[in-house]
Amino acid sequence: MKSLKFLFVLLISLSILSTGCKKDDDPTDPVNNYKGSFNVSINGESYSTLKSDIVEMEEGVTFFADDKKGGQFQIAIPNTPAVGETVTITFNAGEDATTVMVANGPIEGYTTLIAGAGTVYRQSNNKYELENIILFGGTNFADEFPMSGTITVGTNGTK
């Protein structure tokens, strides 16, 4: 449970960092040129529209995605693997383990989803592949949702 609390605090911290430095969007410009790209499937629904840059920091990778309902949700990968490394995710991993977290959607009724199975493969400095991820949420994290896809980082927040 300690690691879940740590991951939740990390997710909130990443959220604040990624939105706190963002310039206000021009309300007259309907096209946002966010840096990075992604294409993920969560529970059978595909998502690929960004609502922020995909940022890599020392703590991991984070970004906001369009939920297709007029809102957004956040994806975070704390403690990213080294280039060329594949990490197997386990639900009871330690605090420094790689995982995948989804916050504030996109599945209605679920605020936080945490990966408990699957792999994260870091293909290059900026490209990640998520395979056979199982997100857990709900009471006692008993509900399961499949996730897979690719994420390409658009900017480095460590400089």
Give the pLDDT score at 61.
95
Reply yes or no on whether the pLDDT at 119 is more than 50: yes
Give pLDDT tens digits for 6-45: 454 445 444 544 444 444 444 444 567 899 999 999 999 9
H or E stretch at 47: strand 45-47
| Domain definitions of the chain by residue range | 2-22+39-153
End-to-end CA distance of the chain: 33
Reply yes or no on whether the pLDDT at 2 is more than 50: no
Give the pLDDT score at 157.
73
Give pLDDT tens digits for 40-92: 999 999 999 999 999 998 889 999 999 999 999 999 999 999 999 999 998 77
Give the pLDDT score at 27.
45
Give pLDDT tens digits for 94-103: 778 899 999 9
Reply yes or no on whether the pLDDT at 1 is more than 70: no
Can you tell me the distance from the alpha carbon of 75 to that of 100, in angstroms, rounded to the nearest whole number?
7
- What is the bridge-based pairing of β-strands 55-57 and 155-156? parallel
Contact present, 35 and 156 (Cβ < 8 Å): no
Can you tell me the distance from the alpha carbon of 142 to that of 84, in angstroms, rounded to the nearest whole number?
32
Count of helices and strands (H, E) across the chain = 1, 11
H or E stretch at 112: strand 112-122
The model's confidence at residue 105, banded by pLDDT at 50, 70 and 90, is confident
Can you tell me the distance from the alpha carbon of 78 to that of 81, in angstroms, rounded to the nearest whole number?
9
Contact present, 112 and 80 (Cβ < 8 Å): no
Contact present, 107 and 146 (Cβ < 8 Å): no
Q: What's the pTM?
A: 0.80
